[in-house]
Structure 1
Amino acid sequence: MNNPVVLARSIAVTALGNDLDGLWQGLLDGRRGIAALDRFSCANYISALGGCIDGLAAAPGSLFQALLERVAEQLGPLPQDCRLLVASTKGEVDLLQQQRGDLRPELLFENLLATIAARLGLSDRGMNINAACASSTVAVARAAALIAAGQAEAVLVFAADVLSEFVFSGFSALQALSAQPCRPFDRQRNGLNLGEAGVALLLLSADRARREGLAPLATVRGWGVANDAFHVTAPARDGRGLIRACQQALQQAEINPEQVAAVNAHGTATVYNDAMELTAFAAVFDGRIPPLHGIKGSIGHCLGAAGGVEIAIAARSLLEQRIPGTVGCATPEELAGDAISTAVRAISGDYLLCSNSGFGGINGVVILGRGAL
């Protein structure tokens, strides 16, 4: 790679805490941020559970802007030439649903991009990447590609989605929600719990990180994006899109599958998604899946922000050489073998693979490397 890419800063606000340290410790402790919802009535839905951020509903304005504020308070100043990539599936949907068909121009996403850029002190108004539940993974891939190609030295990925009744009702209609705390990769899994998150990931060229005096949290070594073109909401059962995205990322990183120390998987706890992922990983790793975990049993499925949260956690996992347990997975699927556990496990190696899959057959993969280049 002519221009190596590093992850220089990461912020995450989730149902397990207002910062990344709180989230990491909560995951290590095996805690759940999923609880009974009181943001709206769930009387007409098949579930009443979700992973809401504490106190977010009480903030003035839109939930999205309240989330932006919490992330911005921790982020600090950014390079003046920093590019902006936003990853969100629904933006200020909580305000849009209040309009009941009367769409005000100021609620269009173009204006929200300007609001985000202004709050973060950036001159680049950026663009939003909406790739369903792989949005922030694709955004990180795009940011890394810009830096690797010499088109940017600094790119901020800001990813956020809030838990709104609009989205909740849609997943309920799809029969995708679980009425109990979800069980990723468990043989008895029966659906997901929705969550919400705000994430900021600052990517820099290695040279720029050195000039800024920033020690890399991790390196971004490879990335891949593929679409299986199978169904609007269901994944291809053979995992062909995810397999292709993994192969692209491994090729970009110039490593073999055996060098991957662990996998942070999408793990929605739906019957078909989890089976598809295990099928794909069994193919990619020739039946020997490395230690694998998912965090959605702890914080819920955070939609467009899911991959951003997981990449931040993957960087911490590489740094500390351990991965959290998969909360809710009491009896792993047979295909997983001994790759999945509810316990924290030590890992040994320099690379970790993160994957996310979304509606429309979208699959995104990012491979992180340990420490400095």
Structure 2
Amino acid sequence: MNKVFISKVACVTALGSGADRLWQELLAGKSGIRPLSRFSCDNYVSNLGAVIADLVAPADHSGHDDLLNRLADQIGPVPGASRLLVASTKGEIDRLESACRAGQKLPAAVLFAPLLDKIAKRFGLDDCGTNINAACASSTIALARGAALIAHGQADSVLVYAADLLSEFVFSGFSSLQALSPDPARPFDAGRQGLNLGEAGAALLLTNEAGAGDAPLARIAGWGAANDAHHVTAPARDGSGLILASTEALQRAGIDTSAVAAISAHGTGTPYNDAMELTAFATIFGDHLPPLHGIKGSIGHTLGAAGAIEAIIAGYSLAQQQIPGTVGCTTPEEAGQGQVSSSGREISGQYLLSTNSGFGGINGALVLQGVL
């Protein structure tokens, strides 16, 4: 099979634009979680979120337009024959919200069809694109799908574009589930209360070895996906789905657990998710659990964009041989003590496991390999 590389990347989060900037902000322990002013939070259990402060959304347009232009400018030219995979859970939800508030009617297709067309045209792609909606694991699954296309010779390059906006519609849903934290999220902390939503966008160009250029960020060595078929929103407490997805990714990469230098975890900050992850990792790695971290205490839970941004940071972690601290984790859960910390730490090795889990029982995992 062909080797798959992450050749070019771009991202925009609540901590600013560009992968270099995000990496530095994460190392510095910064957080973009703030009180929200985009809509009233009086009826919700939290008023916190991580928004892109200067995102422009003129009347009758979506904030995705501004986000798309920023990402396209950052990443630069991509091969026109690239396949396009988009990962978004709600697409142009802000346009739909605005129309509803104004008493207007818009076709359901407003969420995704125009967005796919805009992305393809902005990047000059022949492919009209496919949206992959796997809840919070969307972009991890999209990266896995893109890697599979290249590995099996069905594409030379794939553009994975991941983006979600922070909308009142989604915020109200998480609030009704009592999943939001009234305070800044504390992933893997013993006192965690829930998550903070965020918004972000990322673009990653995947290529085969011939198109990787002189300085790819990382290689996608393995990938896996599984569903625990347990509950519509809650994860299986035993982590069975995450165990299956991670094991598949490790097997596809051809490595055993001892080769994994670190874990980039989903780490939402909800009691059930974080406990499930720690249970799964203990099953997978036994007494040799590598250092792990999560970045949602810094940029919030960015839904469809989460896995893509975490894959970018995983590439930086392998290149720099360090992982950022988990912002908000001051008193680690017992099962994570000694492995997760609010402070960054050095790592040693070529491989990193990056995982995400979402509503509906979906779990995705990537094994990234350093190339420097």
Q: Which residue of 1 aligns with 2:48?
A: 49
- Distance (Å, rounded) in 2 between the aligned partners of 1:304 and 1:55: 20
User: Any conservation in 1 of the 2:57–2:65 contact (CA below 8 Å)?
Assistant: no
Q: Which residue of 2 aligns with 1:149?
A: 152
- Runs of 4+ with deviation above 6 angstroms: none
Shift of 1:105: 6.1
- Distance (Å, rounded) in 2 between the aligned partners of 1:191 and 1:208: 42
Secondary structure of 1:56's counterpart equals coil
User: Any conservation in 2 of the 1:13–1:71 contact (CA below 8 Å)?
Assistant: yes
Residue identity over aligned pairs, in percent, reads 61
Q: Which residue of 2 aligns with 1:169?
A: 172
Shift of 1:214: 3.8
User: Any conservation in 2 of the 1:186–1:330 contact (CA below 8 Å)?
Assistant: yes
- Distance (Å, rounded) in 1 between the aligned partners of 2:80 and 2:88: 23
- Distance (Å, rounded) in 1 between the aligned partners of 2:133 and 2:31: 27
Q: Which residue of 1 aligns with 2:305?
A: 305
User: Any conservation in 2 of the 1:289–1:336 contact (CA below 8 Å)?
Assistant: no
Partner letter of residue 224 of structure 2? G
1:110-167 CA-partner distances (Å, limit 9, x unpaired): 2321111001111111100000000000000000000000000000000000001111
Equivalent of 1:181, from 167, 179, 184? 184
- Distance (Å, rounded) in 2 between the aligned partners of 1:7 and 1:57: 29
For structure 1, the residue ranges without an aligned partner over 5 or more in a row are none
Q: Which residue of 1 aligns with 2:282?
A: 282
Which shifted more, 73-82 or 310-319? 73-82
Secondary structure of 1:357's counterpart equals strand
- Distance (Å, rounded) in 2 between the aligned partners of 1:200 and 1:54: 20
Q: Which residue of 2 aligns with 1:251?
A: 251
User: Any conservation in 1 of the 2:147–2:220 contact (CA below 8 Å)?
Assistant: yes
Which shifted more, 116-125 or 92-101? 92-101
Partner letter of residue 42 of structure 2? A
Alignment partner of 1:139 is 2:139: no
Alignment partner of 1:339 is 2:339: yes
Q: Which residue of 2 aligns with 1:99?
A: 99
Partner letter of residue 77 of structure 1? P
- Distance (Å, rounded) in 1 between the aligned partners of 2:331 and 2:91: 36
Q: Which residue of 1 aligns with 2:268?
A: 268
Alignment partner of 1:13 is 2:16: no
Shift of 1:106: 6.0
CA RMSD, aligned part only?
1.2
Shift of 1:23: 0.8
Partner letter of residue 42 of structure 1? C
Q: Which residue of 2 aligns with 1:220?
A: 220
Alignment partner of 1:114 is 2:117: yes
Q: Which residue of 2 aligns with 1:195?
A: 198
User: Any conservation in 1 of the 2:14–2:50 contact (CA below 8 Å)?
Assistant: yes
Q: Which residue of 1 aligns with 2:323?
A: 323
Structure 2 length-normalised TM: 0.97
Shift of 1:69: 1.5
Structure 1 length-normalised TM: 0.96
